[in-house]
Chains A and B, each alone.
With several copies, the nearest count.
Chain A
Amino acid sequence: MMKVVTGVVGNDIHVVANRLIDISLQERGFEVFNLGVNTYLEEFIDAVIETDAKVLLISSLNGEAEGWCRDLSLLKSQYELEGVVFMIGGNLSVGEDNPDVIIPKFKRYGFDLVFHQSDLGIGLDTLEAYLKEHV
C-alpha cells in the first residue's frame, strides 16, 4: 500500500476537508498518516521521513498557505526526499485570487501538484495519474 502523509498546514484548524481527505485516500487504497490540522511544514517532513511515505498531501483552507510553505524548497534541499510527491490544495490565498497566479507560485515553492479551490475528486484522480506516470 502506498503511504501518504496528510494534514492541514500552519495555524489552520479547518478540519472538515481533512476528515474527508482521510476517508477518500483510504477508499482509494492508500495507507494514510493523518497529522490533522495545525501542522507545521517541519512536522510534515519529519513524518514523511519517518513513515517513508511517497506522497505528502497538504491542505490549507484559511488562506495562509503561502506564509507556511514558502520554505519548502529549502527543506527539500536539507533532507533526502527524492521520489516524494509534494501536493497541496484547498484555498491557497487570502481573498479571491487567480489560479493562474497561484498555481505557478506554489510550483516554484517546490510542489509538484497544486490545486486551488478545486474539487477533491479531481485532485486525487490527478494524483493517481501522476503516480502512475512518475513512480
Chain B
Amino acid sequence: MSLLQRDRDIIVSNEYVDHFDFDEVESFIRGASKNLFISHAFKNNKGKTLVQPRGGFPTYDKVFALYKEFKAANVDVLPLTIDSNTRLNDYAMAKKMLALSEENDVNMLNGYPLVNQGYRTTRKMMVHYDTPVSLRHGTPDARLLIEMALASGIFEIEGGPLTYLLPYSKNFPLDKAFLYWKYVERVCALYSTLNEPINRESFGPLSATLQPPAIVIVIQIIEMLLSLEEGVKSFSVSFSQTGSVMQDIVTANVLKKLSRHYAKQFGYGDAQIHLVYHQWMGAFPRNKNRSDSLITTATVIAAMVEADKIITKTRDEAFGIPTKEANAQAVDCVQYTLAMLRGVPKISDEAEEENLTLQVNEILEALFNDSADTLWRKAFNAIKAGYIEIPFSPHIINANEVITVRDDEGSIRIYNKGKLPLSERSFAFDRDKIRIPEGHSVVDKIIHDIGVML
C-alpha cells in the first residue's frame, strides 16, 4: 500500500463517514460519463464561455431542486457550495444544523454539508444530472471533503493552499494547508489517469476587496505550479472583476500569458490551462435591478476577456443566499448575453500589460530565489516574510502592510507596497496614478473604493 493510500485510509475513517469503499469509487470514476468532467467540456466547447452559478443548500432535496432550476436555465456547470462549518471541518456543528434544517424546513447552513451527506447519497444527484459539477468550499483542510466530492462524481475542485486560506481562515496553520492541499492534488492526479482529467481551479477573487492584480496573478501561478507538480493535467486560473474594464482586460491578458509561460518553464507544457472570470465579488448594491445591471456588465467583460468560464452572482447578492429562482435567472441572462454578444473586440494595453508582467515576475523571482528546497516552502517563506500578502485577509499570517486604492479610472493600484519585492519602477507605475482627493484620508478613500458598485 502506498504512503498516500495509508493517509487516505486514515482520513476517511471518521465518525461522520460511513465505510468508504475506494475500489468502488475507482471503478465508478473509471466508468463515469464524460459529461461529468468539465475538462471534457472545455475541450469540446472551444470558444463558448461556460456558465456556472454558485449555490448550495443544506438538504439533498433543495440542492436537487436548485439543479433542476439551473438545468432549465441552460447551465453549463453546476456548483456545489459547501457550508461554512464543513469548511472549518466542524462536522459536528454541520450535523446538528443539517438535522435542524431537515426537521424545520429552514436553512440553518449556508451550503451543503457534503461530508455529513456522504458520497453515496450525493452521487445519485450527480449521475442524475449528468453535468459537470464544481466543488466550491473555502476549506484549508479539504482532504476528507474532496475524497467525498470525487467519490460523488464532482470532477472539478476549487481552491488551493493560499486562496482558500488567506481569505477564508483566521489561524489555520499555513504549512499544514500546503501539505493538505498536496494530498488533494495527488488524489486529483491519481483519478485523472482513470478517465478524463479532474480539473483543479484556483480562487482568484481572494478577499474580493481591492486585490491588486499582481498579487492575484502571483498566487494563481503558485497554486497552478503546486498542482501541476503533483500531476494534475487540467487547471483553471481565475480572477474577479476588478471594477475597471481596462484592468480586467489587462489582468486577463497577463494571467493567460504568464500562467502558460510558467507552466511550460516548469515542464508542464502538456497541461491544459483555462481562464475563469468571476462576476463582481465585492459588495453588491441593495437594489436588485441594479444588481442585474452589474451582472450583465460583468458578462460583457467576460466576453471581452474571452474567459473559458464565468461564475455568476445573483440579484439577491446583497441580501443573502439567493433563491433558486433568482440564481437561475442570472444563469439564463448570462447565457442570453453571451449568445447575443457579437463582434466583441480583442483589446490590450501594452504599457499596462508590460508593467503588470514586470510586477508579477519580480515577486515570483524573489520567491523562486528563496533558499528552501521545495516550491511550497518557498511560498510559505514568502508569505511569512510579507513578500506576498493580500489586502483584507482575516488570517494572522498575512502581513497587512500593503494598501491599495483605486485610480481615477477605477483601476486598483498599490499605494503602500509593504514588503512586496517590487522594483521602484514597477511600483511607481502604480503609485503615480493615485490621487487622494483633497480633504480625504487614505481610509476615506479605501472605504469609498470598497463601495464602488453600491
Chain A residues close to B by CB (< 8 Å): 10-13, 15-16, 18-20, 23, 36-38, 62-64, 66-67, 91, 93-97, 117
Asked, given contacts A37-B170, A94-B107, whether A15 binds B320 with beta carbons under 8 Å apart, the answer is no
Q: Which partner residue on chain B sits nearest A39 by CB separation? A: B170
- Dominant secondary structure of chain B at its interface with chain A: loop
Residues of A close to B171: CB separation below 8 A: 38
Are B108 and A11 in contact, with the CB atoms below 8 A? no
* Interface stretch of the complex, out of B84-92, B115-123, B224-232, B416-424: B84-92
A36 → chain B closest CB, angstroms:
6
Are A64 and B110 in contact, with the CB atoms below 8 A? yes
Residues of B close to A36: CB separation below 8 A: 170, 394
Which of A15, A23, A117 touches B394 (beta carbons < 8 Å)?
A15
Q: Which partner residue on chain B sits nearest A18 by CB separation? A: B394
B12 → chain A closest CB, angstroms:
23
Residues of A close to B90: CB separation below 8 A: 11
Q: A11-B87, A15-B207, A64-B84 are in contact. List 17 more A-B contacts (CB 8 A).
A: A12-B84, A13-B167, A16-B209, A23-B443, A38-B394, A62-B110, A63-B110, A67-B93, A67-B108, A94-B108, A94-B109, A94-B110, A95-B319, A95-B322, A95-B323, A96-B323, A117-B286
Which of B320, B443, B447, B450 touches A95 (beta carbons < 8 Å)?
B320
Asked, given contacts A15-B394, A93-B320, whether A64 binds B109 with beta carbons under 8 Å apart, the answer is yes
Are A13 and B168 in contact, with the CB atoms below 8 A? yes
- Dominant secondary structure of chain A at its interface with chain B: loop
Residues of A close to B283: CB separation below 8 A: 16
Total A-B pairs in contact (CB under 8 Å)? 76
Range of interface residues on chain B?
20 to 34
Chain B 314-349: CB-based contact to A (< 8 A → 1; otherwise 0): 001011111100000000000000000000000000
The 8 nearest A-B residue pairs measured at CB? A15-B394, A38-B170, A96-B319, A37-B394, A95-B320, A94-B107, A11-B84, A95-B321
Which of A12, A16, A63, A67 touches B320 (beta carbons < 8 Å)?
A63
Tell me if B436 is interfacial: C-beta within 8 Å of chain A: no
Q: Which partner residue on chain A sits nearest B400 by CB separation? A: A19
Residues of A close to B110: CB separation below 8 A: 62-64, 94
Tell me if B134 is interfacial: C-beta within 8 Å of chain A: no
Q: Which partner residue on chain B sits nearest A14 by CB separation? A: B394
A69 to B322, CA, bound (A): 23
Q: Which partner residue on chain B sits nearest A10 by CB separation? A: B84
Q: Which partner residue on chain A sits nearest B170 by CB separation? A: A38
A36 to B318, CA, bound (A): 22
Residues of B close to A11: CB separation below 8 A: 84-85, 87-88, 90, 93
